[in-house]
Amino acid sequence: MLRGLEGWHIVIIVALVVLLFGSRKLPDAARSVGQSLRIFKSEMKAAAKDGDAPEGKKVDGMQQAVEGKTVTPTVNDSVPHNTGVTQP
């Protein structure tokens, strides 16, 4: 994704960010992004520590519940079969 970026590309991007947000708001924005990342990491560690089951295990349980059962297609009963129209 960033393979084609050169040094001057990054300089232009930084200059645009400074122009858009201003030099006063950049430290606050960086601080809030860092705080959000810290909160996210701590929540992920807490979820892992609680032993929440990963999504793959939940799917395996569902597959075990369905395993061994055959499903046969049913006739669509929502359409009336006898409409009174005769075919030639």
- For 12-65, the pLDDT digits (tens) are 988 898 888 888 888 888 899 999 999 999 999 998 888 755 554 554 445 555
Q: What is the pLDDT of residue 30?
A: 87
The structural domains of the chain, with segments of one domain joined by +, span: 1-52
Q: What is the pLDDT of residue 56?
A: 47
Q: Rounded to whole angstroms, how far apart are CA atoms 48 and 54?
A: 9
Q: What is the pLDDT of residue 65?
A: 54
Q: What is the pLDDT of residue 82?
A: 63
Sign (positive/negative) of CA torsion 40, 41, 47, 53?
positive
Q: In degrees rounded to 5, what are phi and psi of residue 3?
A: -70, -30
Q: What is the pLDDT of residue 7?
A: 85
CATH 1.10.3470 fits 1-52, yes or no: no
Q: Could you tell me which residue, 70 or 19, shows the higher pLDDT?
A: 19
